[in-house]
Amino acid sequence: MAIQFDYFYLRAQARHGGKEAVQARLPRIASDNELRQLGDDRYLAAITKCVFRAGFVWRIIENKWPDFEQAFSGFVPVYWAQVPPERLDALGRDTRIVRHMQKIATVPQNAYMIVEAAETHGSFGNFLAQWPNNDQVGLLLWLKKNGARLGGASAQYFLRMVGWDGFILSTDVTTALRNHNLLDASPGSQKELKQAQQVFNDWHQQTALPYAHLSRILSMSLDS
């Protein structure tokens, strides 16, 4: 690789007040055991939150989230995977949530995805825990194929939310990579994902830092 990751780490420290300040802003990473122990209902809740946040003001979704939990009865996947249509219609009129029918309709499909994975692996947490972090692209493509509205950044933010160790191709991250000619594929393409995966795999081997930390540090290396 043409550029060592220390270059970005030092830039991040210079822009954000030193190593301790950078460390304080790094995301928490769940252990494999923590991923396995998290209930499938929490995975469906996290996916739904990321779907609803996409293209919307995140703060509004966060503020309304306790009402979402009530409206969706705790996001039990086995129920939502076979929910009757009239329940979805009622949610479309429920003022406790953001009444976006296309997003509401993703819940049964994503619930079915979770149930199917749980039947094969014992739980959705087991499924995530066994997926290798050096193949995040494969996991993102799986989520896109089997889920609903998980083809873009929502899947990346979902994985970060539950603590799975992976990168996020935010604007700052892709800008930093492109500035150093580490990405040249079309934005949002599979080729771009694969190029980014290779870069982060190389840096992970070079530094032993988690993928999520590499990603966050890289984003912090730009002027804020």
Q: What is the pLDDT of residue 205?
A: 97
Whether 223 has a pLDDT exceeding 70, the answer reads no
- What mean pLDDT is reported for the chain? 96
Give me the DSSP letters along 152-218.
SHHHHHHHHHHT-------HHHHHHHHHTTS--SPTTSHHHHHHHHHHHHHHHHHH---HHHHHHHH
* Confidence class for position 3, pLDDT limits 50, 70, 90: confident
Residue 1 has pLDDT above 80, yes or no: no
Contact 22, 209 (CB under 8 A): no
pLDDT at 2: 61
101-124 mean pLDDT:
98
Nearest to 72 by CA among 35, 98, 39, 53: 98
- Residue 203: what pLDDT? 97
Question: What is the distance between the alpha carbons of residues 115 and 27, in angstroms, rounded to a whole number?
Answer: 28
Per-residue pLDDT at 152:
85
Q: Which CATH architecture has domain 32-162?
A: Orthogonal Bundle (1.10)
Tens-digit pLDDT profile for residues 142-188:
999 999 999 989 999 999 999 999 999 999 999 999 999 999 999 99
pLDDT value at 224 more than 70: no
What is the total residue count of the chain?
224
Residue type, 122: G
| Burial readout 83-116 (b: 16 or more C-beta within 10 A, e: otherwise) | beeeeeeebeebeebbeeeebbebbbbbbbbbbe
Question: pLDDT tens-digit profile of 88-101?
Answer: 999 999 999 999 99
Domain extent listing, the chain: 5-29+167-220, 32-162
- Average pLDDT rounded to a whole number, residues 73-95: 98
- Residue range 56-61: mean pLDDT, rounded: 96
Tell me 95's DSSP state.
T
Mean pLDDT over 210-215 rounds to 98
Predicted confidence (pLDDT) at residue 212 exceeds the cutoff of 70: yes
Q: What is the rounded CA–CA span in Å between residue 147 and residue 152?
A: 11
